[in-house]
Amino acid sequence: MMKRKMTWMSLGLLVLNVAAGQTEDLRTDSALVREVFSEVLAHGEAHENLRVLCKDIGHRLSGSRSADRAIAWGQAMMDQYGADTSYIMPVTVPAWTRGDVAEASATGADGRVMPLHITALGGSVPTPEEGWIEGPLLVVRQLDALDTLDARGHIVLFNRPMDPLLINTGAAYGGAFDQRGGGASAAAKAGAIGVLVRSLTHALDTLPHTGSLRYNADIPRIPAAAISTVDASALSQASKAATSPLTVRMRMNCVDLGTAEQGNVIGEWRGSERPDEIITLGGHLDSWDIGEGAHDDGSGVVHTLEALRALKAVGYTPQRTMRFVLFINEENGNRGGKKYAQVAAEEHLEGLRHVAAMESDAGGFVPRGVRMDALDSGVELVRSWAATLEPYNLHYFGRGGAGVDIGPLKELEPRPLLMGLVPDGQRYFDLHHSSQDVWENVHKRELELGAATCASMLLLLDRNLPTD
C-alpha cells in the first residue's frame, strides 16, 4: 500500500508543529533520510512497478504504441501516488521501427562463411528493396582514418573497443561513441555503401548493442548496424590474416515513419512555503526496442515514482514545488529534455524559478553518490551532506555530466543546481541497449537503494537550498 504509518516520533513532532501553528518539519536531515530509506527498503514498490513497466508494457521506443501505453501508465502512477496535479507536456518525437530483418555474414577467399550478429542502429536507413548489400570489408579504428583510405564500394567496420583502462565506464563509453554516432556519415563520405560498428560494451559476447546515430545532412545515408564484440574482433583478426579482403553481405528492413505526438509525463507536488521555486526529479520513459529498457531507463522511471511515494509516506511536506518528470525521447533526440527546458525558460519569465534538478539515468545498480553540473556554491552545499549520507555508502560527489534530459536546464539564468545519480557502473554496459536489459537483470535491493537515494537528495535540496 502507498501510505504507511509514520513512526511515533515523527507523528509526535508533526502534532507539536500543528499545535504551535508551525509548518516547519522539525525532524533533522539525518532523521528524515533514515525514515526514507526505512520506508523504501521495508515497503518499496519500485521493483514491482518496474516489472509492470517491463513485462506488461515492454519496450518504449519513441513514437511506438508501447510508448503511448507507458505514458498513460506513468500519469496514472503519478495520480495514484498523490501528485497534486499531473499532465502530459506535448513533445513531437521521431518514429522509426527496426523491422524484423537484420542479417549479415562475411566470406573469405576460401569460401568459408562467418555468420555475424548485428542489429540496426537507431535511425538507420534500410538496405535497398532488393534486400542485400555486398562489398569488401574495410576495418578501421578511428573516423579520421578514412581521410586517407579509399572506401568506395566497401562495407566499413569501426572496431575501436571501449577503453578498458578507464575505471569510469561512462567515460569509456563516451570515448568510443563517435564511431556509432558519426561513423555512417564518415564512411559514406569516403564512398562506403554500409557500416558496421563494434558494440559499445566491455563484454565479449555475441549480443549486438544498439543506439542512435547521426546522419550528416550533406552526405548520402547508408545502412548502419551494431555488431557484437566477438564478431567485430573475429572479423578484424580474419581481415589482418587474409591475403584478399573478406566480402560482407548485410540486409535490414528498418523504416523511418516520420514523427509522432507524445509527451513528457509530469506530476507536481506544490510547495508549502516557496511554491514558485521548482525542484525536478526525473528519468526517461522511452527505451530501445531490443530489450525491455529495465536499467535504461526503467530504473530511473521507478526511482522517480518511488521518491514521490516514499516522501508522501513519511509525512514530508515540501517547502518548494517538486516536479516528478518522465521524459520522452532521450535515446534518439532528447526532444523531451529540450522541450522541458524550453518550457522552464518560459516559466522563468512568468516568475517560476527552477532552482534544482536531479536525474536517474545510469541504471538500477547500487548507488555510490551523485555528479553535479553546478556553481561552486552548489557543489559545496551538496558535499556538506557527506556525513548525513555516509551511513548509506554514498560517498561520491563529482562534477560534470549530471544527465542528458536535465542538461538543457544549464542555459537558465540563474543557473539551477543539476545532479545525476551515480550507481556502480562496472556492469551497466554489459546490458545497455541490448536484449539483456530486462527486469530479471535488475536487483531488487539495489534498485530500492537508488530510489531512496533520489528521494533523500530531493528532500535535502528542498530543506537546504539558499532562500535568497
| Greatest Cα-to-Cα distance within the chain, rounded to the nearest angstrom | 89
- Comparing C-alpha atoms, which of 31, 3, 59 is closest to residue 297? 59
Output the pLDDT for position 456.
98
Residue 181 C-beta-side C-alpha neighbours within 13 Å: 9
Task: With cut-offs at 50, 70 and 90, classify the pLDDT of residue 180.
Answer: very high
Output the pLDDT for position 178.
97
Average pLDDT over residues 392-420: 96
Angle between helices 8-19 and 29-43 (to 10 degrees): 130
Is residue 356 scored above 50 in pLDDT?
A: yes
pTM comes to: 0.93
Output the pLDDT for position 25.
83
Average pLDDT over residues 130-147: 94
Phi, psi torsion values for 233, nearest 5 degrees: -65, -40
Output the pLDDT for position 23.
57
- Residue 63: DSSP 8-state: T
Task: With cut-offs at 50, 70 and 90, classify the pLDDT of residue 467.
Answer: confident
Average pLDDT over residues 47-71: 98
- At 324-352, the pLDDT tens digits run 999 999 999 999 999 999 999 999 999 99
Is residue 79 scored above 50 in pLDDT?
A: yes
Q: What cell was used for 20?
A: 504551535
Give the chain's domains with CATH numbers. 8-94+258-464 (3.40.630.10), 99-253 (3.50.30.30)
Output the pLDDT for position 468.
72
- At 185-198, the pLDDT tens digits run 999 999 999 999 99
Average pLDDT over residues 228-251: 95
